[in-house]
Each structure stands twice: as C-alpha cells, then as structure tokens.
Chains A and B, each alone.
Chain A
Amino acid sequence: MSMERKIPIEERLNSNAWDVDERPHIRIKDPDQCRKCDSKPCLYLCPARCYTPGSNGTVLFSHEGCVECGTCRVVCPNDAIEWNYPRSGYGVQFRFG
C-alpha cells in the first residue's frame, strides 16, 4: 500500500493480526444517552473508528477493529459504554506492540 497518502483507518487496521469474536465485547448501554450527548468524544478519540455518527444524533458502534485500548469508556461523559475485554484469546494480536 502506498504511503504517500492518508491510508484509510480500515486499511491500516487490516495490517494487524486479528481473531475477531462474533460477539461484541463492548456495547452502548443506552443509545438515547448518545443522542443527547453534544460532545461525542468517542467519535474523535477512538483510535480505530469503532464509533461513527448515525442518523438523528445517534452513535453507531462496531467492535471489529477495536484495539482494546479503553479510551471510549474513559472519555464517555455519560458512562454509557459497557466495556469488557474480548473472550479468551480473541481480539487484536499485536506482533510489535
């Protein structure tokens, strides 16, 4: 992949070793909280773009690509995120770290 341009985050995440669980390890507890949330820091601070804007001010979440950093649960102003590590052995496998 050429590095002379911004590489879309999805492509960058594809360079990692993964074993993605079908079952999400993170969940938005109450989507209504997100609708009311003005700042939505998750959209800017999640390194993997797991959070994207939905319609009517909602936030959509996808656990695929999650690098398991925990930033979202720290910055969510409404404590609206239920956060677990992936089940045994699943998730990102860093080869360099």
Chain B
Amino acid sequence: MSIKFDAIIVGAGPAGLTAAQRLASKGLKVLVVERGRKPGSKNVYGGRIYAHVLDKLYPEYVKEAPVERWVRKERISFLTEDSGTTIEFETNNVEHKSFTASLSDFTEWLGKKAEAAGAVIISESPVDSLVVKEGTVVGIRSGNDEVYGDVVISAEGINRLVLERSGLAPKLEPQMVGVGVKEVIKLGRKVINDRFNVDDDEGVAWAIAGFSTHYVPGGAFIYTNKDEITLGLVIYLGHGSKVDVPVYDMVEEFRLHPFINRLIKDGQLLEYSGHLTPIMGLNASPPSLYGNGYLVVGDAAGFLLHGGIIIRGVDFAIESGRVAADAIIKIHEEGGKYDGSSLSLYGNMLEESFVMKELRAFRNAHRALDEPRLYNDYAKFINAFLKRYFDVDGTPRKIFSTFKETKGNLTILDMMRDMTKVVTNL
C-alpha cells in the first residue's frame, strides 16, 4: 500500500473511533486499523456509559445510539455466604446521566459515525508494530504491509502490545490491572422489569463486594440491559495469588449465590467474556502520552477512572480521542509537523479537559482500594453486625456491644485508618 494518510489510528474502540470521526469530519485522510471482524468485536467492559461526553460530541446519540436502559437505580452490596447488605439509591432524573449498553453494539455505532465522516476502517488487521524511522513514528506494520501516516494514534486498549514492542510503554505490571470475567444472560424485558422493579427503559447498576470475589480485592457487577443482564467480576491482579478458586469458577459461584440466582432464574447464557481493565488510572500510563509522530489515547493511556464504586472508561476514552483529534487538527493547519514538542499541545489540552482534571484528583485512589480489609473484614463485619442486631432473642443488643461482638479482627484504629484512606483518596 503506497497511500499516505494524515493520521493512522491503531484500534477501533471508543477512543480511536472518536478521534477518527473528528479528524475525518475536518477533511483529514484517516485510517483506522482494527484486529477484530468489525469495530466492537474485541471490546469488553462492565456495562454502562456515562453520557455527559456524548451530549457534547454526539448529541444525536439519544435517538441513534444503541442505548439499552437509563440507569435509575444504583446498588452497592456487601455480600457473604449467607447474608447481604445493600444500599440502594434511586432517582427520577435519569435522562442523559448514564445508560447500559452492549459495548460491541455501541462501538459499531461509533464506527459508522467515523465512516460517515469519511474515515477508512480496515478490520481483521492486527497491527504488529509501529514503523519508526530516525526516532519518529512514521506508520504501522500489519503482517507484510506497511502503511504510512503523518501521525499515529495508539488507541489499542489496555493490552498495549504495539506500544510495548516499540519500547514506548513498559510491560504491564500485575498491580496496574484487573482481570474481568463476564456473563451475558438473557431474561427477557418483562422479567427484568419485574425482578429489578423498573420500567421498560430504566435500569440498575449494581456493585457487589465480598463473597463475590471470595473476599479478594476486586468486585462484582450486575447491569440490566433491555433483555439481558450482564454479570461479572474483576480481580485485581496484584492480589491474584490470593484467589482460592479459578476466576472462571468464581464467577459461577457468584452467579449461583442464592440472592443472585433467584434473580436470573430460567435465564439463558448468551456470551462469556474476559478482558483486562486498568485499575490504577494515571499510574498505569506509559511514560509519555505523546512523542515524535505518535500519541496515546483511551485505555492504552491509562485513562480509566477506577473509584471502587464508580468505574468510568468509555467517557474518558471518547474525550481523549476528541482531544487528540483537536490537537492534530491544529497542528495539521499549522503545517503538520508532528514532533514531540508540537504534540505537547495534546498534553496541554488534556490538562484542560476533564480527563486529566478528574484522573489527577483520583491519582491515589488505588491506595485506598488496594486495602484487602475493604473486601474481606468489612464485608463480613457489616453483615455480622446487622445479623446479630436484628436477631432478637430476649438479650439486650445495644449498638456498641453488638459492634464489639461482631467486629472480628478489626480494631478501631484500623477502622479510623481505613476510613481516612478512603476519604482522602476517593
């Protein structure tokens, strides 16, 4: 192939496709190279997208995008083998906040947007490496083909082999990521409405800690789509040595927990997936987010805000793709010299956007979330406490005596220390 593109994008996910759509709409010649059959066929996530960024960039999404349900209920649970404690928040104001979606569908939709703007998407082509000449990235290599572009955007996702092979990112360390496993289970719209007590277009987002991961740091999730639910868990790989059953069995034990199993009775499994997810935010970023001839967006850049209960990847991916495109458009208009110093514009514009503002605010979140007690001692304690407290048998149950009886190995000092960590870092 001898055509030269203004920009080449590695990976047709939310970040890459947003960059592609924006660049193409300004008349740049854009190529997106994707390893899957079509955009979305290798993407996996938990289940929900925060919509604020779409209101700005794709305002037509409300009518067009494959939205499943608008999240109306947020649930947080601590689960043990025989008990569960849940906080449920419900609101009437659900429009434009967050929605559940199938990421494969949603990404495919973004792909159509990019193509409609004029971007070229080549699927079934895994990029093997970047073509680097005299210290500058000048293109990509896929099999025997080399394709050249003025600038290359790595939007390859968290398993960033291309950046690693080019020496632009170190090998991922276990503590930087979690492994997610997920099941998509068909129940039918009416069954979901009844069992989760929601109307047709309203959904539930549910985070579950404790037994769901066998008390190992990580968490489980359930989201309601229109006709399916998605159910899964994430294990922080820095704590991977603590799992006592394989993750593919763990997710089944969670699904078969009596409180969960009754919600998915007579369901039908439609898909089983697994994926890595960044859990350390900017601490998992490559040493540089841009350099001579390239820049990095989305998960590959570590742009995922993991705040324990709130997990946001797609909105950060989309916004970083938008920022990358805007930086490139400006440089293109000024003559198109994409060296590290001109691309620092991307870094500066990121700082101005919510991407860096929010990720910097949560840069130490992992310090709180890495505390094993959160997933173990506290999950057990809160359930033991309430179980004892409500177990009326004619002996006095005052709060403090019940607390002392059920706190297990937790000390008041631990609790104060952990509370401080949570409050200061999250």
Contact = CB atoms under 8 A, between A and B. Distances in A.
A96 to B, nearest CB: 5
Nearest to B264: A3
A94 B40 contact: yes
A89 B124 contact: yes
A59 interface: no
Interface centre among B246, B247, B248, B264 (most CB of A within 10 A): B248
A89 B123 contact: yes
A67 to B, nearest CB: 4
Contact of B102 (A13, A44, A74, A97): A97
Contacts of A46: 246-248
B417 to A, nearest CB: 29
Interface centre among A7, A16, A45 (most CB of B within 10 A): A45
Interface of chain B: mostly helix, strand, loop or mixed? mixed
B18 interface: no
Query: In the complex, which range does the number of interface residues on chain B fall in?
Result: 35 or more
Given A47-B247, A85-B126, A97-B40, A69 B271 contact: no
A35 interface: no
A60 B253 CA distance: 25
B271 A96 contact: yes
A45 B276 contact: no
Contacts of A56: none
Contact of B243 (A13, A45, A83): A45
Contacts, number: 154
Interface in B173-198: 173-174, 177, 179-181, 183-185
A15 B269 contact: yes
A39 B237 CA distance: 14
Contact of A16 (B159, B272, B275): B272
A88 to B, nearest CB: 4
A96 B240 contact: no
29 contacts: A1-B268, A3-B268, A4-B261, A6-B252, A7-B269, A9-B248, A12-B269, A13-B272, A15-B270, A16-B273, A43-B246, A48-B248, A67-B272, A67-B274, A69-B276, A71-B276, A74-B174, A74-B237, A84-B161, A87-B126, A88-B143, A89-B123, A91-B42, A94-B40, A94-B41, A94-B43, A96-B102, A97-B42, A97-B102
A86 interface: yes
Nearest to A71: B179
B269 A93 contact: no
